[in-house]
Amino acid sequence: MRRLKKYQTGEAAQYITRRAALRKLQLSLNDFRRLCIIKGVYPREPKHRRRAQKGSSDIKILYHAKDIRFLLHEPIVWTLRDYKIFAKKTGRDRAIKDFRNLKRRLALFPELRIDHIVKERYPTFIDAIKDLDDCLTLLFLFSTFPSLRLIPREQSALCRRLTLEFLHYIISSKSIRKVFISIKGFYFQADIKGQMVTWIMPHHYPFKPHSKAEVDFKVMSIFVEFYTIMLGFVNYRLYHSAGYTYPPEIHYEKQADLEDNYKDELSYVSDRIAALNSDLDSKTNEPEEEIEDIDLDLIEQGQNSNREVPREPLVILIRSFGGKVSWDSTVFTGATYAETDESITHQIVDRPILSDKYISRDYIQPQWVFDCVNQRTLIPTNKYFIGATLPPHLSPFVDSKRESYIPPEESGTGNESSYNKDGSKSDENILDAQPEEIRTLDDQQLQVAYMEEKLEIEGDGYVQSEDEINPENDEVAPKELQKRDQEKLSMSVKVGKVHKENKRLNRKNELDEHRLQARMVKPRHRNLFRKLIREKQDKEKEKWLLKKKRRIIDGQNKDN
């Protein structure tokens, strides 16, 4: 049997460097990166880097050798090689100005198809739904981008169409469960086929090109290329399961794809919201001349007076729960009814300046809708009126049973010191507040027990006789009566004392217990034990800082 040489077994044979993988696949770095993103192959971190790198101490990018062998059998590798051949031949035709041959080659451009890879990575429909979080977040981000150097206009338009189709399904199926406003955007969580899907819808800001290349849009565009195919499959299956035809007929203005229309909300966001506010079965298309007839002064006035009302998430939330939403038709397109309609129950505004007010409706701030969705009920509107100080907007994505800091508003209490974590009052405060009522209650219970003892107790086939009740008929009766009197004296109610914990003693016991645990840990598990202790200390420090911050804020509010 042949004896294996050094670095032919173990981790040295299980890992391969990126440079060696490029030589094995005969691909450039860009093509290799694209292939790995599409196939879902990522770099790996070995347990012993020096062994995996065959004795080298340099930090290299490593892959599993079996993953590289898996890529060798992928058909799109030949398509990527054809791209290189195509680029060389077309470059030569341009150099010698052979435009006839160049036109023929451009017609035979190799097309990259990745439909089979989507089916390969997600063999079942539920697997694709479980991986929708990153897909939706990235596509919603790219749907807000204009045409850039590395982002084709067709790709951004495709992202807008696919996200609109997905939102229409969410609205029609009423799948929204949670929502949260963050500095990153709007967090949404929907229940799709029993799976919780969470994504971020970014805020819409005027786009400004970046002078520095801080973000690698080329790599992100490769992810978008795969995710668009994936979301197309998912939308097709969702629409057919709900009984709708795919692709749906959604009213969407062609002018929204022009480069000049990304600078204001009217051209892009307004048209997108108008498409969301229409039903899937609606086939009515508004004329394109409607945008040109709108007065620019009214547009500017409407944007200044509604600049903090997020219309797109509000349309999604209100329509997802069966409500109807509209706005001033002279300012934005897509209005379904007039502002003077008497059937309006709530009007969402962000400025106290209003020309006309109606008694039949509540004028509230946008946070009321988000809080109602999270609490799954219509909460009172008195805390959300115009000009009122809004209550804290708590995140519904945190665990209510977590060990970290829990704000008092989350448990429904206003004073954290007099309540437990579950919202119930502590026993110490009850004893301090109502000691006389508790003693009175105990006396009543004692009196009831004494009366039951004097009455005849019928149970278990036993009934007291007159001789047992009258002590004159029996000589042993006085002794029993004396024994009963002693028992009554021992059952008397005494005033309780509040037990105060010694924090210094508790801290000493915790330290002793921690030292005992550290001694019992095996040497090979000490690093893991230290890591767990550091994580625990970080959580305690964060909890202490949040409590301190809350005390400072409460003190400032009291002073004001």
The whole-number average pLDDT for the span 381-408 is 84
pLDDT band at residue 232 using 50, 70 and 90 as cut-offs: very high
pLDDT in the model for residue 309:
81
pLDDT in the model for residue 210:
58
- On the 0-12 / 13-18 / 19+ scale of CB atoms within 10 A, 136 is buried
φ, ψ (nearest 5 deg) of residue 289: -75, -5
pLDDT band at residue 466 using 50, 70 and 90 as cut-offs: very low
DSSP H or E run through 181: strand 176-181
Q: At 394, list the tokens.
A: 């708590």
**CA 345 to each of CA 118, 341, 466, 499: distance values in angstroms, whole numbers, following the listed order:** 46, 10, 76, 54
CA pair distance 478, 473, nearest whole angstrom: 11
Alpha helices (runs of H) in 281-424, residue ranges in sequence order:
296-305, 311-320, 367-375
The whole-number average pLDDT for the span 486-503 is 77
User: Using an 8 Å Cβ cutoff, are 16 and 68 in contact?
Assistant: yes
- On the 0-12 / 13-18 / 19+ scale of CB atoms within 10 A, 51 is middle
User: Using an 8 Å Cβ cutoff, are 118 and 226 in contact?
Assistant: yes
Is 179 in a helix, a strand, or coil? strand
CA pair distance 205, 193, nearest whole angstrom: 33
User: Using an 8 Å Cβ cutoff, are 143 and 238 in contact?
Assistant: no
pLDDT in the model for residue 406:
82
Residue 104 pLDDT exceeds 60 = yes
Alpha helices (runs of H) in 96-216, residue ranges in sequence order:
99-107, 115-121, 125-130, 132-142, 153-173
Residue 252 pLDDT exceeds 60 = no
pLDDT band at residue 334 using 50, 70 and 90 as cut-offs: confident
pLDDT band at residue 208 using 50, 70 and 90 as cut-offs: low
Residue found by looking up tokens 């898996």 in the block: 70
Residue found by looking up tokens 């060990």 in the block: 403
Q: At 315, list the tokens.
A: 């349309």
Q: Going by C-beta distance under 8 Å and a sequence separation of 6 or more, which residues neighbour residue 204?
A: 144, 265, 268, 269, 312
- Identify which has the larger pLDDT, 375 or 149: 375
How is the chain split into domains, by residue range?
11-110, 117-206+216-384, 407-453, 530-560
pLDDT digits (tens, 9 = 90+) for 507-557: 899 889 888 888 888 888 888 888 988 898 888 888 889 888 888 888 888
Residue 295 pLDDT exceeds 60 = no
User: Using an 8 Å Cβ cutoff, are 299 and 289 in contact?
Assistant: no
pLDDT in the model for residue 304:
38
φ, ψ (nearest 5 deg) of residue 179: -155, 145
pLDDT digits (tens, 9 = 90+) for 140-197: 998 887 766 777 788 888 998 999 999 999 999 999 999 999 998 999 999 999 999 9
Q: Going by C-beta distance under 8 Å and a sequence separation of 6 or more, which residues neighbour residue 552?
A: none
pLDDT in the model for residue 122:
92
pLDDT band at residue 297 using 50, 70 and 90 as cut-offs: very low
CA pair distance 357, 340, nearest whole angstrom: 10
User: Using an 8 Å Cβ cutoff, are 392 and 553 in contact?
Assistant: no
CA pair distance 430, 415, nearest whole angstrom: 15
Q: How many CB atoms lie within 10 A of CB 159?
A: 23
pLDDT band at residue 283 using 50, 70 and 90 as cut-offs: very low
Residue 426 pLDDT exceeds 60 = no
CA pair distance 332, 274, nearest whole angstrom: 8
pLDDT in the model for residue 135:
94
The whole-number average pLDDT for the span 94-110 is 89
The whole-number average pLDDT for the span 479-494 is 75
Strand boundaries in 345-463, DSSP class E: 346-348, 362-364
pLDDT in the model for residue 420:
41
pLDDT in the model for residue 195:
92
- Identify which has the larger pLDDT, 333 or 293: 333
- List strands edge to edge, sheet with 185-192: 176-181, 185-192, 195-202
What percentage of residues in the chain have a pLDDT greater than 90? 23
Mean pLDDT of the chain: 77
CA atoms within 13 A on the CB side of 392: 15
**CA 122 to each of CA 228, 354, 417: distance values in angstroms, whole numbers, following the listed order:** 14, 53, 51
